[in-house]
Amino acid sequence: MGLAWMVAATTAAVLASWAFNALVHLVWRPYAITRRLRVQGMHGPGYKFFVGNLGDIKRLHAAVAGATLDVTDHDFIPMVQPHFREWIPLYGRTFLYWTGARPNVCVADVNVVKQVLFDRTGLYPKNLMNPHITHLLGKGLVLIDGDEWKRHRKVVHPAFDMDKLKMMTVTMSDCARSMMSEWEAQLAKGGDVEIELSSRFEELTANVISRTAFGSSYREGKQVFLAQRELLFLAFSTAFDVQIQVFRYLPTEKNLKTRKLDKKVRGMLMDIIKGRLATKDTAGYGNDLLGLMLEACASEHGESPLLSMDEIIDECKTFFFAGHDTTSHLLTWAMFLLSTHPEWQDKLQEEVRRECGGEVPTYDMLNKLKLVNMFLLETLRLYGPAALITRKTSSDLELGGVKVPEGAILTIPIATIHRDKEVWGEDADEFRPERFENGVTRAAKHPNALLSFSSGPRSCIGQNFAMIEAKAVIAMIMQRFALKLSPKYVHAPMDVLTLRPRHGLPMLLKSLQM
């Protein structure tokens, strides 16, 4: 009797404690934070028990499901970020909203964005709430912080040295030439040829990153590519779910599939690494990204290695995905804009003809393609692969004059900021590469308004790699083909962590005689 009473009392105490903590987390804290921020002038849509504003966000997305745009309309915000389009006019560029019981602060004011992204003290670390994204990218440079990030960057940074990038241009051109040889073979049969470009660019950029970073080909890396693509869509499918820590450990269908795919990717990357280690005595580690990391992993004279093998695998995951996914979509949207702006297609063809002739473009040639560079920057402004980035607050701190609580998610809606007329002018919704004629810092009213590669000390380490690759591919296409958008194309941009055309990019190609 006594033991049963003690068990019952203990259970009741645990349940009471759990109920109290839940009440604090789900009711009192959201109320207190909302009130505290409202007093300081920050408003937003009201908190709803447990789900916050996720229901509102899902409803707004559902209302535009299946919507399409005219090919001349570049304002896809109502389709991709409808909640920001609805809430910013109501609450301002910096406002509070809720994902579950976690406070989110929309940061759409470029001055406040600069405060966040240019911080070097660790006040705004990365947000790792979605475990599926961690499985997709690995805990590499994109997701880690502090001393850990500095250690990884010290190892990885030399792979993106400009001299190495110049040498990589040859590999990029070889991969592009192989792809275009297939197109030319199809065109040789006569007439125009329709090719779905977005999938071709995914294969091309996966091949480039495989060869330049890991010394393998797309054929060897294809299974990694396919598994990571599945992980990408799993991560996207949970983007608007209430994130509760304990749920990530439950044996749900999505969790089990994610773990299985993660194990598969790690195994395939480990096989690539073992192949490199097997030849290190005769061929060395190699001077690509993988070689640099393996050399850092090898300890000498009893010293601790700079990277562990698990960390190398995480970096491989990061660069295999980030190194091809974003560039493939940049190329896709660049081709879309070239086909819908024939006057710019003519300008770029003329510039490429003048600077490169019929030769395979070298790094020095690519560096002279000013119009191609302007064109790509405007493509990144309107159709940048990353539509938003997130950080979080490491402590209670002041953000744009408002004291924000520890643990708040800071969401920077890049695509929305890139269409802000107060920043970019009244023609912000228009495609005008001329705005970059005098460089990135003078293209808008704020020098740090272009956020396609983020900004500040944590800006994308691979941005030069991506721009050189995009220039090389565009130059080679402009040497050989004229582009015309297929009548089958449907303009429906969608955000699956990166921005892509929902229905692909079917394009009509016509051979050019140089």
Q: pTM to 2 decimals?
A: 0.94
pLDDT at 203 over 90: yes
Per residue in 18-57, pLDDT tens?
888 888 899 999 999 999 999 999 999 999 999 999 999 9
pLDDT at 240 over 90: no
The class (CATH top level) of 21-111+387-426 is alpha beta
pLDDT at 347 over 80: yes
Cβ neighbours for 39, distance < 8 A, ≥ 6 positions apart = none
Where does the pLDDT of residue 301 fall: very low under 50, low under 70, confident under 90, or very high at 90 and above?
very low
| Pairing between β-strand 409-412 and β-strand 102-107 as defined by DSSP bridges | parallel
What single string gives the DSSP state of each residue in 461-476? TTHHHHHHHHHHHHHH
The token pair at 105 is: 């602060």
Per residue in 405-415, pLDDT tens?
999 999 999 99
So what's the pLDDT on residue 514? 46
Q: Comparing 135-144, 219-228, 340-349, which segment has the lowest mean pLDDT?
A: 219-228
Which 3 state secondary structure label does DSSP give 326? helix
If you average pLDDT over every residue of the chain, what do you get?
91
For residues 467-472, give the mean pLDDT.
98
Cβ neighbours for 92, distance < 8 A, ≥ 6 positions apart = 43
Q: Which residues of 400-428 are buried (b: 16+ CB within 10 A; e: fewer)?
A: bebebbeebbbbbbbbbbbbbeebbeeeb
Residue 52 pairs in a beta bridge with 99
Where does the pLDDT of residue 478 fall: very low under 50, low under 70, confident under 90, or very high at 90 and above?
very high
For residues 223-248, give the mean pLDDT.
72
In this structure, the number of other CB atoms found within 10 A of the CB of residue 218 comes to 21
Contact 372, 351 (CB under 8 A): yes
Q: Comparing 133-147, 240-254, 377-391, which segment has the lowest mean pLDDT?
A: 240-254
For residues 324-328, give the mean pLDDT.
93
φ/ψ of residue 99, rounded to 5: -110, 105
For residues 167-184, give the mean pLDDT.
95
H helices present in 215-242, as ranges: 218-237
Which of 351, 356, 365, 346 is closest to 482 using CA atoms? 346
For residues 456-479, give the mean pLDDT.
96
Per residue in 366-392, pLDDT tens?
999 999 999 999 999 999 999 999 999
Domain extent listing, the chain: 21-111+387-426
What is the residue whose two structure tokens read 């502090």? 146
